Amino acid sequence: MFTPKYPTPDTAPTPQTSLVRPLTGITHPPACDCHHTSAPVPAAPVGRPAVQLTPGSLIVAAAGGTAMVLIIGTVLVSMLLATAITAASVAICAVVLRSLLNNHQR
């Protein structure tokens, strides 16, 4: 019941050696008989910056930078505020516990 059942070797599929058949006997004629020369590639001008900033792109960059500073500042201030509130609550709990323990000993 728990022994595995293996198929007989005769029924197993045979692996194919190659799925790609070579193309034989197919020849393509050249597109044209004329001799083409490649056009010279114009050289990049020397001294020009790779990125040109227009007034519109400068405004967008300044607005994006300002937004990033405001978002990061808001996150950092909120984290600092959460830490300060946690520290204050722990200090209040310590003072209350200390006063309870001191009153209990008297």
At position 77, the amino acid (one-letter code) is V
Give 31-56 pLDDT, tens digit per residue.
Answer: 677 776 777 766 666 666 567 778 89
Q: Residues with Cβ < 8 Å from 61, sequence gap 6 or more?
A: 53
Q: Residues with Cβ < 8 Å from 53, sequence gap 6 or more?
A: 61
By residue range, what is the domain housing residue 91? 80-106
Report if residue 25 sits inside a domain.
no
Please give the tally of structural domains in the chain. 1
Report if residue 90 sits inside a domain.
yes
Report if residue 23 sits inside a domain.
no
Report if residue 104 sits inside a domain.
yes
Give 13-37 pLDDT, tens digit per residue.
Answer: 666 666 666 666 666 666 677 776 7
Report if residue 13 sits inside a domain.
no
Q: What is the pTM of this model?
A: 0.43
- CA separation for the pair 71, 49 (Å, rounded): 31
